[in-house]
Structure 1
Amino acid sequence: MGCLETNQCVIKDDGVELAEKAKKADALVIAGFTPYSTLDSRTKAFIERLYPLRHKHGFMATKPGGAVITCCVSEDNDALPPACQMGVNAVQFYMMEEGMNFVGAVKIQGNVPCVKCGSGDECKMSGIKMLYGENATVNSVGIKTFENQSIAIEAATELGRKIAQALKKM
């Protein structure tokens, strides 16, 4: 709680500079990915390093914001946790607690690291079979790219539009 009076973290590293940039920004879009069906630790650490901006002033309050989350678990896979939504929720709840205006999210279908590691077809721990079925292979799964996901592109365009609208109202 050394940040209580100064609204600046007492840990002197890049987190202070990143928090200052977030404080000065008109809007904030937080992007992350979802290993183990939750928000990745670097993105979570970034969010937590914004905590000093909260005390007494609420520097992030009223700013529009959104989330961009990539995950390898398909939204229609009922056998696994809803990883993308869990990542979105982590960002959305942060913004809610800070009094920000969460305007939307982009969910991008990503790739299980196993498609690039070189052992994805042989490894007994490969996520390929867990995600895509016992007969799935690196070649049958392929590499997913943002550019080939029209729903994600539309969502990104809409997120930008909503942030622009929210900024006009401020």
Structure 2
Amino acid sequence: MILFVNGSPQPNGNLHRMLEKIALDTDRECELIPLADLDIRPCRGCVGCAATHRCVQEDDMGLLYERLESAQALVVGGVVYFGRINALTHCFLERLFPLRHRDPRTRGKLAAAVVVGGMDGSQGVREIRDFLEKYFFFRMVGSVYFNSATPPCYVCGFGEKCQVGIPALTLPPEEFAHFAIVPSLFQRFEDHPEVVRACELLAQALSQNLAAEVE
């Protein structure tokens, strides 16, 4: 089974749809978990998990540890806020800590990263990859990211006039003076063939690596 974790708070955004496509294209049993629907608190650093491989906090992360241990592969999806992976995704990664002690439960498991960012989704991919490889000994089989170029300024209600918003800071003054938020500014990964193909290749890599493990 491949476990897909969606760290975006948007219920049907680009990240959700990318994860869905990859899951379907693997043609394997998959489970998609939206972190926004769960109560997952930050790690408290108490190290109370060292003996039991389970966190002492009683929240929804406790529902995921057995699934993480039994899954053949983990695909972590996150979004980039302020140039870093978002807090929801990072919180999930922190809370993997109980699985790391002494005999890491995730050693050698397959993993992949899927990220959506405004301008630099590759930064989020690097963060997730480094976290999974360095600290939890996953074996990364690939990644994909989509730069949507769609800042929150497009939906806050003030993006056309705000002097500290992304449009004002990135457009020449004469262009920003006539800037208008129109539907065509909201990009979908499905309209970018190279991103669609990258999703297909990641699904193929996951499926092929899983098949190789049972041969």
User: TM (normalized to structure 2)?
Assistant: 0.70
SS of equivalent residue, structure 1 residue 34: strand
Bigger strand fraction: 2
The size of the alignment, in residue pairs, is 161
- Contact in 1 for aligned 2:146/2:189 (Cα 8 Å): yes
Cα offset for 1:140? 8.6
Query: Which residue does the alignment assign to 2:63?
Result: 17
How far apart are the structure 2 equivalents of 1:27 and 1:131? 40
Structure 1 Cα separation of the partners of residues 166 and 66 of structure 2: 38
4+ runs deviating over 4 angstroms: 131-134
Match of 1:76 in 2: none
Unaligned runs of 5+ in 1: 74-82
Q: 1:132 to 1:149 in 2, by over 3 A?
A: farther
The alignment's TM-score, normalised by the length of structure 1, stands at: 0.87
Tell me whether 1:72 sits opposite 2:118 in the alignment: yes
For residue 153 of structure 2, what is the aligned residue in structure 1? 114
Aligned mate of 2:207, from 151, 157, 164: 164
- Shift of the 141–35 alpha-carbon distance from structure 1 to 2, 3 Å rule, reads farther
**Match of residue 30 from structure 1:** 76
1:56 Cα shift?
2.1
Write out per-residue CA displacement over residues 24-67 of structure 1, whole angstroms, 9 at most, x where no aligned residue. Answer: 21111111111110100110000011111111221111111111
Could you list the per-position Cα deviations for residues 46-92 of structure 1 after superposition, in whole angstroms to 9, with x for gaps in the alignment?
Answer: 0011111111221111111111111111xxxxxxxxx3222111111
Asked if 1:149 is matched to 2:192, the reply is yes
With over 3 angstroms needed to count, the CA separation of the structure-2 counterparts of 1:148 and 1:125, relative to structure 1, is same
1:104, distance to aligned residue in structure 2 (A): 1.2
Q: Partner of 1:95 in structure 2?
A: 132
Structure-2 separation of matches of 1:87 and 1:55: 25
Residues 32 and 69, structure 1, Cα contact 8 Å, conserved in 2: yes
